[in-house]
Structure 1
């Protein structure tokens, strides 16, 4: 088991409720969920040189509802399997990079 350290912070009750709802939906412990959020945040910050997406472009498109639900199911399954939240963005960017 990796070395761990406790992290405690007071947060607004509305934010707490949102966090609780999402981590329950993903069937993650609070520790797993917070760790995945922080990991995702720092990964995005490192990859983008900060959260500011300057130099980035937006790509938007519509897909059939059935495909969207299949993707959501896959993301939830991978998140549960790895313990790290797989986002739609990371998933699609991975597919694009793999194809190119």
Structure 2
């Protein structure tokens, strides 16, 4: 038995339409299939947290030149960006703990 189908029509901005059609064509799906997939994915992800419950994001901006130098450094050292920052944070916290321990003696 065929699934009940309803037509959905809504005007959207031209640039968004072009982007949507490009991605739909790249997917190899018909527009109907692509829109069904897209809307389904949206509703499936709605209300789901993108972060793990026990983790938080830290973000900040740097100059383009500093960013390039940093990325080059990471590549030379074979280090992942998150591993670098986690190590820096852990080191700073350990140093503070050592300083506080020395002060209480």
- For the aligned pair, the TM-score class normalised by the smaller chain equals 0.3 to 0.5
Q: Which has the larger radius of gyration?
A: 2
Higher normalized contact order (CA 8 Å, seq sep 6+, divided by chain length): 1
TM-score (norm 2): 0.46
